[in-house]
Structure 1
Amino acid sequence: MSFSGFIEEIPGLSVDSFREENFEKSSTFFLTHCHTDHTTGLINGFLNHIYANSNLILYCSSESATILKNMNPEHTNLLDNIIWTLPFNQNCFIPINGMSVGVTAIRANHCVGSCMFLFRTNESTVLYTGDFRFHWFELMDIKALHNNGWPIQLDNVYLDTTYLKQITYNFPTRKKAIHLLLNAIDDFLEFTAGQRIVHISRPANIGSEIIIQSLARKFNCQIHVDDECYNFYRGVEPVFSCMTNNPNNTFIHMCKPGKPGTNHFCNSPAALKIRLSAQWYAIQENTNWVQWEGARAVNIAHSMHSSRKELKAFLRYFKPGCAVALVIPDGYYQDEIQVELDYIACKAYNN
């Protein structure tokens, strides 16, 4: 995250940022999802300020609330006191700095519990996407961003620009990537005799839910993850029932080798090693979405963030008055990413 967390149109509000300056200027906080680059400082920040300002509030989805408590069991009482959960696709009115602000949480297609926030005041309508992933044909299905079937007018969009750069112009849809994954495993099983072992690299503790559920459904088995990941998902159904922390219960592993709850199966030379990655393909500038390295290793393009092509489609569809870059990709400066975003947004608006 590069964004400061402040929504210019609504003073007193911070999103996904828990630095000292945010606690000095804000009393109302929003969390889009539980990846650590969005939660840095959250617990310590609230601990440091809660006694001086008992009115501090954190809004997030119920799934994110559960995961936050699982990640920080020693601070459950604190989180119970500060968290207010928001239902998806329901407009709620929240008092912020003397204003009544309409807030709608919208699923962001990024990880479990992840949401975009639509903020409405008498003066403006603002969308904060957080990390999100939508293909162009999915945009018309976001009901909270439509009125009588037409896109609502957005005055400003705070946009996930993780893959705005040109080398990440396009990725397969998440559905397509999972289809490629399942086919790769089928091919391996068909031509492999003896012990069946599959290990899929998991880039983060949270975010592989759709993959885990698809694997469990296809191969009629639970998916093995390490103890830490397993505990993070307690109470988060239906994904939790698709997981196991016992490596002997299944042939498909998505654990991080070396962590508690893993064993020799996860590092077996007989295993099919699968890497799901967007960044690897961006660095390689490879447009082949499935790339085998011998008979037991395969790379598959998979992104949890919108590609440049999808970002252009999003801006062309909703035509916001302006857009603010949330993320500055490695090797780029904030000014040049914002200039590029301004150019794309202006071009989209005029088309």
Structure 2
Amino acid sequence: MSTFKGVVTEFPQIRIDYFRVISGQKPPLACFLSHVHSDHLLGLESLKSPFIYCSPATREILLRLERYPHRMNFAKGILESRKQTYKHLQTLLKTLPLETPTVIELSPGNEIRVTLFAANHCAGAVMFLIQGDGKAILYTGDIRSETWWVNSLVQNPVLIPYTLGPRRLDCIYLDTTFATKSEPYREFPSKSEGVRELLEKVEKYPKDTLFYFQAWTFGYENVWIALSAFLESTIHLDQYRWGIYKSLSARENFLQSQEAPPLCGFHCGNHYSEGCLTGNPHVRLHSCERGTSCPVIEENPQVVSIIPIVTRLSNGVEIGELGAGGGNGDLNQIHELEINDPNAVGQLMQLCAAKLEDPELLSKIFFFLSSATDETKNRILLDTSTKGDDPHDDTSLLGDIPLQELVAILARVATTTPSSAGSEVQLSNTGTALDKIDGPLPKSITFPYSRHSSYSELCSLVRAFRPRDIYPCTVDPINWTSALSIRALFGHLCSADLFAHDAEMTDMLDERRERMRADKRQRPEDTQTTEDEETQHSAAVRNESLAEHENSSTMFFTPPVVAERPSNGSAPHSSTNTSHSSISASVLSPISPPHRKAQVKSPVQPPAQPPETRSHKIRKLAYNAALGLNGLSWPDFGGLVSAGNNHSKKEAEL
């Protein structure tokens, strides 16, 4: 998920993929949008000026996206909703042709030259080469830098001066979603290898088998094309998704998107040739949103699901793709709960505690709220709860509903979201080749198809340009170490010894250490702490320091869950790795509360108890923190403040 705050040091008068007001920065003179995934649209809904430059496909898709933000109104006791679109940006969105240098005048006498290049990520996704005043940078957005793609860049006439010629880019603003030397993120199968595996598995099934491809975001367009051509069937999309992709053929602008013909069809003289997508549900292939009353998928229990993953290890371990790198749910009509008011979140927690008697469920909800506060940029996706148990029920959250019903909604979302509160992500056990499986063919198929680059692929891209510096666009400040620095990852491929981002992170770490030392000096002299308490206190101070840096260009990424396929054919279980969908829950939530005064140990040792798992400990702490039990409070646990928490710090310490 992108953590880039939009500011390009070399060209401070522009913004890229971040449109909120930035303290201390003047308003931009031009904005740029690389693609339509939600983590790159922050603030765009309220932008009034200036122009936003993007690819033709990005413009058409953006104008048809629909979101439904919901806000808690405790004064009225209701959950308010509204429909949000980007249609008002129609006059601000300006499309640029790909691989064509275009001069943009920011102000009289102040010009930059911008060139767009396909990013191999999703429909409309591009990179920006920006040149001006003797400087040049490449902003990648989200990319999959496979070998063939990097070779095409090296040979591009506009880029040859920076790849094969004497010039060097000042900086590459790089998609570092999977930038780590550790396995399994060092090497990924190529997209073509993943599609080949998928087609080999699909071919094993009878000719009348119905397939459902689980596309929850933009970026699987080439998989659609391959499946449609291989099985000689178009792919059904629901009305909302079909309307988005059909717009790629719009002729409002003289620039037509290059993605349109294979997906939506084209005219050849007086003849119209259909693309691979359709709104007709009576076909073998489906990629419609669940719950939209598709008469074929909803009424056929024998449908085979196709699920993309990031990669698969030799021992059968699969890396789940859902939500990794952002974009989770972007292809749906998104319902989301705004949680940018800590007091409102605290009131919501109290409401949940009053309405729910199950401590396990309550702790899951609290963990879900804690993780979502940071992971989703102050919003919670509610689209998984907009449909009832009846598959034909098209009831949505449009309109105001009582806040009491929000508790049930959160309970449903928290228990169905992968890895919420430490729960396990269940992936289909189809990692083994189908020709090795005895008995019936499986009901689900997985295949590797990462939308982001592996570490080795990123090295290939950096090696082609040898820039003076690299600025990462996906950063985990909590787990950041020198091993994850730009110098350590890509220093051997850079042509200068700058590493500006490493200096930023070092300054942040120094500030944390100073805060810890200052806090330690303020403790009573008679307070004795154990080594474990020191570690807990350090985690709390680190979290507090990170909150103050919310407006800086740092957030975090934790690789998604690794699910191992059991040998007995049962549903796989998660390993010790942390799911991307519960990043905040795993890294922001301390294992124990911050430092307290040392307790006098009783000479009578309690009987031995079965060891608690880390998940159980965290859930218990979250539950106690929300209720103010055992000297805990929610600010200690997750950094959120409950408006109704009457426990003072002194009382908590007692």
The structural deviation recorded for 1:148 is: 9.6
Q: CA deviation at 1:340?
A: 2.8
Deviation at 1:136, TM superposition (A): 2.5
Q: Quick one: structure 1 residues 257 and 318, their matched pair in 2 at CA, closer, same or farther if it must change by over 3 Å? A: same
CA distance in 1, matches of 2:205, 2:188: 24
Change (3 A) 1:168 1:289: farther
* Aligned residue runs from structure 1 range 96-175, under 5 A: 96=106, 99-142=110-153, 143=156, 144-147=158-161, 150=164, 153-165=168-180, 166=182, 167-175=184-192
CA separation of 1:106 and 1:298: change in aligned 2, threshold 3 A: same
2:276 to 239, 242, 254: 242
Alignment partner, residue 492 of structure 2: 347
Could you tell me how far 1:123 is from its partner in structure 2? 2.8
Q: How does 1:12-91 map to 2 (within 5 A)?
A: 12-21=13-22, 25-43=27-45, 45-46=46-47, 50=48, 56-71=50-65, 78-91=88-101
C-alpha deviations, 1:274-311, integer Å up to 9, x for none? 21121787xx8549994469622222111111111101
Secondary structure (helix, strand or coil) at the match of 1:161 reads coil
Asked if 1:6 corresponds to 2:19, the answer is no
Partner of 2:460: 313
Return 5+ residue gaps in structure 2 as ranges: 67-82, 249-259, 265-274, 320-428, 496-654
Matched ranges for 1:206-217 at <5 A: 206-217=218-229
2:195 pairs with one of 178, 194, 204:
178
| TM norm structure 1 | 0.85
Question: Could you give the per-residue CA deviations for residues 43-80 of structure 1, whole angstroms, max 9, x where no partner exists?
Answer: 2x22xxx3xxxx51100001111111122598676322
Deviation at 1:319, TM superposition (A): 1.0
State the Cα distance separating 1:5 from its structure 2 match. Answer: 0.7
Instruction: Supply the distance in 1 between the matched residues of 2:431 and 2:41 (Cα, whole angstroms).
Output: 33
In the alignment, is residue 255 of structure 1 matched against residue 276 of structure 2?
no
Say whether the 8 Å CA contact 1:159–1:325 is kept in structure 2: yes
Structure-2 separation of matches of 1:160 and 1:335: 16
The one-letter code of the counterpart of 1:209 is E
1:133 partner SS: coil
CA RMSD across the alignment: 3.0
What's the CA shift for 1:345? 1.9
CA distance in 2, matches of 1:322, 1:2: 18
Q: Relative to structure 1, is the Cα distance of residues 4 and 207 closer, same or farther in structure 2, using a 3 angstrom cutoff?
A: same
The residue number in structure 1 matching 2:628 is: none
2:450 corresponds to: 303
Tell me, in whole angstroms, the C-alpha distance in 2 between the residues paired with 1:264 and 1:136: 40
Rate the CA distance shift 1:279–1:36 in 2: closer, same or farther, 3 A.
farther
Residue by residue over 1:258-286, the C-alpha shift from the partner in whole angstroms, topping out at 9 and shown as x without a partner, is 1x2524525743222221121787xx854
Which letter maps to 2:8?
I
Q: Distance in 1 between matches of 2:6 and 2:113?
A: 18
Q: Give the Cα–Cα distance (whole angstroms) in 2 for the partners of residues 154 and 334 of structure 1.
A: 29
1:251 corresponds to which letter in structure 2? R
Query: 1:124 is aligned with what amino acid?
Result: K
CA separation in 2, counterparts of 1:145 and 1:334?
A: 35
User: Residues of 2 paired with 1:337 and 1:4: CA distance?
Assistant: 22
Corresponding residue number in structure 2 for 1:272: 304
> Structure 1 60/338 Cα, relative in aligned 2: closer, same or farther at 3 Å?
farther
SS in 1 for 2:189: coil
Deviation at 1:159, TM superposition (A): 0.2
Distance change (3 Å), C-alpha of 1:77 and 1:199: closer
Count how many residue pairs are aligned between Structure 1 and Structure 2: 332
Q: CA deviation at 1:256?
A: 2.6
Identity, % of aligned positions = 24
- The letter of the residue matching 1:106 is F
CA distance in 2, matches of 1:336, 1:102: 36
Q: Which residue does 1:187 correspond to in 2? A: 204
2:213 match = 200
Aligned partners of 2:299, 2:102: CA distance in 1, in Å? 48
Residues 272, 82 of structure 1: alpha-carbon distance in 2 compared, 3 angstrom cutoff: same
Deviations 1:177-233 (Å, cap 9, x if unpaired)? Answer: 11111111111237xxxx4111121131x2221111112222221111222211111
Q: Give me the whole-angstrom Cα distance separating, in 2, the residues matched to 1:289 and 1:147.
A: 46
Amino acid at match of 1:161: T
Give the equivalent residue in structure 1 for 2:601.
none
Q: Helix, strand or coil: the match of 1:247?
A: coil
Q: 1:202 to 1:75 in 2, by over 3 A?
A: closer
Structure 1: segments with no counterpart, 5+ residues: none
Which protein has the bigger strand share? 1
**Alpha-carbon contact 2:116-2:126 (below 8 Å) kept:** yes
> What does residue 336 of structure 1 align with?
481
Shift in Å, 1:120: 0.6
Tell whether the 8 Å contact from 2:65 to 2:86 is kept in structure 1 after alignment.
no
Is the 2:162–2:168 contact (alpha carbons within 8 Å) kept by the matching residues of 1?
A: no
Q: State how far apart, in whole Å, the 1-side matches of 2:239 and 2:209 are.
A: 22
- In 2, the alpha carbon distance for the partners of 1:225 and 1:175 equals 23
SS at match of 2:103: strand
